[in-house]
Structure 1
């Protein structure tokens, strides 16, 4: 597994990171034993970067990850703060944010948090700027080592890049959501801010896990948030209407060379962007981790294929993407 530096932080992250939302049981019940098996498989496959949040299972994901960290303290853990009901959407205070971070640290263990990320907090709160001052203070105190922001739109990403101490941006980037390439990645590189790509498979669309016949559990956001009813629409199927996305996927697959799968091209397309530090991939089964690591080790896509994918996005996908601004 190759490492890449995360912006100005000096942290070396593995190109593939493990997203730990599913360990909170938000996609359906999962035992602690199964959660630890997924974490262990990721570790055995070379993954050393794990991404979670305080609201994943109301702290359960952090708790399980903290147990794993006790035996594997060479991993890098990034967590998020700011979506808990004690803060979101309009109750942000320095004391409240600090309490949230301290609670995460208690669940995760260790002396301080490697990377804390604002968790898709409202644009006006970020625009006010005070929240970044608080994070700077927490960093100076040693509560956190570095801070970044997980955002949902291009405007939010560019706003966060105004903070000179920002270490990272976590963005929704995939073949079905490419605007960050032209609007954010070069600017982030200029600011020496690392980029963490999330939702690489567009909620399973680009991995082949979603079909017209697929049904989702009531607790699965792919059931209840297809049109942004619960949270930002871009978090589900990259903001595309599902029926249209499946049609586009069929057309897109026809553009690929016979020897490369859609899932492989999805991961390689992201890692071919030099500004991207790590790609967060979720996994509900250990074998999925092995596949993602294998994809990361394949040869880059050809320039011709990159051009083909970019043109397809602009001509056919972009007009249907919701929630990108």
Structure 2
């Protein structure tokens, strides 16, 4: 497993991380504890040293499963959690020092640690990024040794660019994949200049880029790929990366011939992300041992040829850009 520097922390992390939204059991097809634990353990055994979670994934289930999987292991991975979605409504005024301290305390308990490696504001309202006092509250938590570092998880490029104006923002988590290429244009260069770590989330566009779905695919009623296709419950960009499902399927078929026969389409999609040196870590989800192994194997794939990268960009410009580029 190849490693990359995680921004200004000086910490090396595996370039393939473990995204734990899916094992939380909420907004995805259910996965039992044993299967989830095996997926985490297999990822760690394969060299994964970065785990991303959140306090609302399964109302803490994800954090608890991670803590359980780490018991008895000699080395602890870098764990990034998130805070803010526990608010009854997403308003900037809810991001007080008292609330942040409460959320951090809960995550420390669930992750069984005295200090959290990284706490990310969990896709807060855009207005929050114009309120310095929120970031001063996070500085206070660092001073109190409750967290080592803090970052943000964003929906929009505007939010990412504004966030890194604050000098102690260590990382930005952003949707980046073959179907969401806008971060390449400006944000990546700004992040590199400021030595801010970039966490690429939703790398497979909710599984769309695995190449395993069709127009007849059926998703569980509790799965966001069923109930949030038009953004009914949260930002539509989190579901299939905001791409209309049927058009997304058509794009996948145009990409499929570019995939080397020795790799899966999902692995190709992960390797595409790793072609960008601004990315510190990509966090595909894994709910089974097989998925964990497939994800980890993407780190060993050869670089994608320039001509193939150009073809991917051409497909994006023609068939994807009109749907997503200016929305986020």
Same fold (TM over 0.5): yes
- Quick one: structure 1 residues 87 and 5, their matched pair in 2 at CA, closer, same or farther if it must change by over 3 Å? farther
85-94 vs 214-223, greater mean Cα deviation = 85-94
Deviations 1:144-189 (A, max 9, x none): 0011111111111111111111111111000011000112111100
1: CA distance, partners of 2:323 / 2:89: 32
1: CA distance, partners of 2:77 / 2:261: 37
**Structure 2 residues without counterparts, runs of 5 or longer:** none
1: CA distance, partners of 2:325 / 2:192: 26
- Name the residue aligned to 1:155: 158
Deviations 1:264-322 (A, max 9, x none): 32111111111111110101211111111112201100111112211221222110127
- Name the residue aligned to 2:25: 25
Report if the CA contact (8 A) 1:196-1:278 is conserved.
Answer: yes
241-250 vs 71-80, greater mean Cα deviation = 71-80
RMSD of aligned Cα (Å): 1.6
- Name the residue aligned to 2:69: 68
72-81 vs 267-276, greater mean Cα deviation = 72-81
Please state how far the C-alpha of 1:86 moved relative to its aligned partner: 4.8
Please state how far the C-alpha of 1:258 moved relative to its aligned partner: 5.2
2: CA distance, partners of 1:246 / 1:315: 15
259-268 vs 112-121, greater mean Cα deviation = 259-268
Q: Which runs of 4+ in 1 moved over 4 A?
A: 255-261
Please state how far the C-alpha of 1:255 moved relative to its aligned partner: 4.2
Q: What SS does the corresponding residue of 1:292 show, helix, strand or coil?
A: helix
1: CA distance, partners of 2:296 / 2:149: 26
- Name the residue aligned to 2:51: 50
2: CA distance, partners of 1:261 / 1:285: 16
Please state how far the C-alpha of 1:261 moved relative to its aligned partner: 4.2
1: CA distance, partners of 2:48 / 2:144: 29
- Name the residue aligned to 1:239: 242
1: CA distance, partners of 2:304 / 2:72: 37
99-108 vs 264-273, greater mean Cα deviation = 264-273
205-214 vs 154-163, greater mean Cα deviation = 205-214
2: CA distance, partners of 1:140 / 1:209: 47
Report if the CA contact (8 A) 1:83-1:89 is conserved.
Answer: no
Question: How many residues in Structure 1 have an aligned counterpart in Structure 2?
Answer: 325
1: CA distance, partners of 2:315 / 2:32: 41
- Name the residue aligned to 2:211: 208
- Name the residue aligned to 2:291: 288
2: CA distance, partners of 1:253 / 1:28: 26
Q: Does 1:106 align with 2:133?
A: no
* Aligned pairs for 1:249-260 within 5 A: 249-256=252-259
Report if the CA contact (8 A) 2:182-2:325 is conserved.
Answer: no
TM-score (norm 2): 0.95
- Quick one: structure 1 residues 114 and 286, their matched pair in 2 at CA, closer, same or farther if it must change by over 3 Å? same
Q: What SS does the corresponding residue of 2:59 show, helix, strand or coil?
A: coil
- Name the residue aligned to 1:168: 171
- Name the residue aligned to 2:232: 229
